[in-house]
Amino acid sequence: KTVGILGCGHVGSDLVCLLAPFKCRVLVRDIVDKSQFCQTHGATVASLDEVIEQSDVLTLHVPLTSATDNLIDEPVLRRMKPTAFLINTSRGEVVDQPALKISLMQGIIAGAALDVFAKEPPTDTEFLSLPNLMVTPHLGGNSLEAVEAMARSAIEHLKDFFL
């Protein structure tokens, strides 16, 4: 299988490393040159078109900017494999949600998993009820490790301020 990663910052690059034991083909697209990183970790730098058209799983790890707002829209979804899955844990506005809904309903792509929405909490129950859509409650920052890191950061900031 081929996993396409759009955005190879901290999360995207960690994902490249996590995928290594699975021996899958990993395509990476980022605005920063990631060729050295990819060569070291067995991934391949690819064009946006290659990532979209060749991925069995397309996972998004980009910030919301004018360039990424609705990056995954109806024309992009139509260029994905009909057997492909889309994962968005970055920003809700990166995916055109109405276009994704239609694509899932019409079988243009096989499925999607979303942790973020343009409007939270999401209210489109028809969309949320689709059998080929998995949603999570945007709780990535609530892991024990994340809470501990936030607590350590708060303590350091207080020490810096008061001492």
Compute the average pLDDT of residues 142-155. Answer: 75
- Report residue 141's pLDDT band, with 50, 70 and 90 as the boundaries: low
* Active site members: 91, 120, 138
Residue 134 has pLDDT above 90, yes or no: yes
Out of 32-36, 97-101, 102-106, 154-158, least confident range: 154-158
Given this model, what pLDDT does residue 148 score? 79
CB atoms within 10 A of CB 26: 25
Residue 147 has pLDDT above 90, yes or no: no
18-71 residue pLDDT tens: 999 999 999 999 999 999 999 999 999 999 999 999 999 999 999 999 999 999
Compute the average pLDDT of residues 119-137. Answer: 90
Residue 116 has pLDDT above 80, yes or no: yes
Instruction: Give the whole-angstrom CA distance, residue 53 versus residue 6.
Output: 13
Task: State the average pLDDT for the chain.
Answer: 92
DSSP letter string over 105-137?
HTTSSSEEEES--SSSS---HHHHT-TTEEE--
Domain ranges (residues) in the chain: 2-138
* Residue 21: DSSP 8-state: G
Contacts of 136 (CB under 8 A, 6+ apart): 113, 114, 115
Class of domain 2-138: alpha beta
